Amino acid sequence: MLRRLIYLLLTSAAFYFGITLMLRFFADILPLASTEEPQSIWRFEMTFVLTAVQWITLAVVAITALATTVLLCDNARRSEWR
């Protein structure tokens, strides 16, 4: 179980950093309320989707790290009682 959690943590962290690097390509996207020249809609929508996936991936990383920590602490506590 612990090995699978660590694999999930490493994979989701790598996915998070990959999405963050992809978002660097869309760094010049302006808010919808800007008065400058119109930007392409597909870039705005792609930025929205990638940002949403980035936040979801960050939540998976945080939950997996928390579960791994709890599992390690629980295993350490059980080995003390033996």
Residue 17 lies in a domain: yes
Q: Which residues contact 65 (CB under 8 A, 6 or more apart)?
A: 9
- Listed in sequence order, the residues at least 6 apart from 50 whose beta carbon sits closer than 8 Å to its beta carbon are 19, 22, 23, 26
* Residues 59-79: tens digit of each pLDDT: 999 999 999 999 988 877 777
Give the structural domain span for 62: 2-28+39-81
Per-residue pLDDT at 47: 82
Residue 66: inside a domain: yes
The whole-angstrom separation of Cα 29 and Cα 65 is 32
Cα angle 30-61-70, degrees, rounded to a multiple of 5? 150
Write down the pLDDT at residue 50: 87
Quick one: pLDDT at residue 60? 96
Report the predicted TM-score, pTM, of the whole model to 2 decimal places: 0.75
Q: How many domains are there within the chain?
A: 1
Residues of the chain with pLDDT under 70: 29-36, 38, 81-82
pLDDT of the residue at 33: 58
